[in-house]
Structure 1
């Protein structure tokens, strides 16, 4: 597991292959096991394939005040919108619920990567825009955190290793 996490990378360019709904569901079941104070499960995922990605393309254009739909959602065959669904709780603040939703998304991206899929987590200022809320049919207690773009890993892989993390720069000992 350590090696899988250490070798994870983002794939901004992927092929048209993608995991099936059944493969995705199996990984979501595992990703949903992240630490979750009070087991609120304050998240949901929206699976977008085919023409469903066009709704997102139009929403990005509307939020950006562009006339033509964005081509970004068409860069991967599968997009997974990550949504935080805030649950009323006197013990678990909103920020902690967003952390759970982010943890699910990151864990899912690790699982997809380990299964051989190319993954890229895309965000942007427009994730919290009205056109995005409408396109994703979000409820009042929901916010869009971004999308996992998923597809096949291209034949020609990136050359060279990623820049390593220097752990001592990020660890404080008290």
Structure 2
């Protein structure tokens, strides 16, 4: 499948099954996603695998962050067998501003989601204000120069049934010329 076809076909899968790629398979996807454009090759990102009971600890941290019911938040954290936390790392640089470093981390996450989708896995990216809460930061053991951007939830993709065609952007509304 071409990159164009992959981009046009991709859909977030908000409900996924209970199987996920194993660590070895995930390493190969991360290797490919890590080829994203990266000014000065700073590698200002890292990923954290969350599986099994680690997702319960995430649910508890989310409950602290949102003041919600722990059981409900644990259930949300268990909506997929694999969660991949996307972490942007701010590396001191006179050449590469932090926003650009965060864009690289986001690019890795998007590339990884495309690779997982193309391999037949269901994927959705969850974000929100709770990524900035100290309980959630602490649970992920983030350093002071790290920022959690969200999680890719990964599991079996549901069978692809008839899908309404994705509403595409009008490229003329987003591409201008000088």
Bucket of the pairwise TM-score, normalised by the shorter protein:
over 0.9
RMSD in angstroms over aligned alpha carbons?
1.1
Residue 129 (str. 1) matches residue 133 (str. 2): yes
What is the aligned partner in structure 1 of residue 58 from structure 2? 56
Whole-angstrom distance in 2 between the partners of 1:49 and 1:75: 11
What is the aligned partner in structure 1 of residue 122 from structure 2? 118
Unaligned segments of structure 2, at least 5 residues:
none
What is the aligned partner in structure 1 of residue 147 from structure 2? 143
Structure 2 length normalisation: TM-score?
0.94
Whole-angstrom distance in 2 between the partners of 1:84 and 1:47: 15
Match of 1:34 among 33, 36, 53: 36
How many aligned residue pairs are there? Answer: 174
Aligned-pair distance for 1:158?
A: 5.8
Please state whether the residue corresponding to 1:103 is helix, strand or coil. Answer: helix
Please state whether the residue corresponding to 1:150 is helix, strand or coil. Answer: strand
Aligned-pair distance for 1:5?
A: 1.2
- Give the 5 Å matches for 1:5-16: 5-16=7-18
What is the aligned partner in structure 2 of residue 86 from structure 1? 90
What is the aligned partner in structure 1 of residue 26 from structure 2? 24
What is the aligned partner in structure 1 of residue 176 from structure 2? 172
Whole-angstrom distance in 2 between the partners of 1:157 and 1:120: 18
What is the aligned partner in structure 1 of residue 102 from structure 2? 98
Regions of 4+ moved over 4 Å: none
Please state whether the residue corresponding to 1:105 is helix, strand or coil. Answer: helix
What is the aligned partner in structure 2 of residue 75 from structure 1? 79
Please state whether the residue corresponding to 2:58 is helix, strand or coil. Answer: helix
Whole-angstrom distance in 2 between the partners of 1:159 and 1:3: 15
Whole-angstrom distance in 2 between the partners of 1:122 and 1:66: 17
Please state whether the residue corresponding to 2:144 is helix, strand or coil. Answer: coil
Please state whether the residue corresponding to 1:134 is helix, strand or coil. Answer: helix
* Residues 29-62 of structure 1 deviation map (CA, whole Å, 9 limit, x = unaligned): 0100111111110000000111111111000000
Residue 160 (str. 1) matches residue 174 (str. 2): no
Please state whether the residue corresponding to 2:70 is helix, strand or coil. Answer: coil
Structure 1 length normalisation: TM-score?
0.96
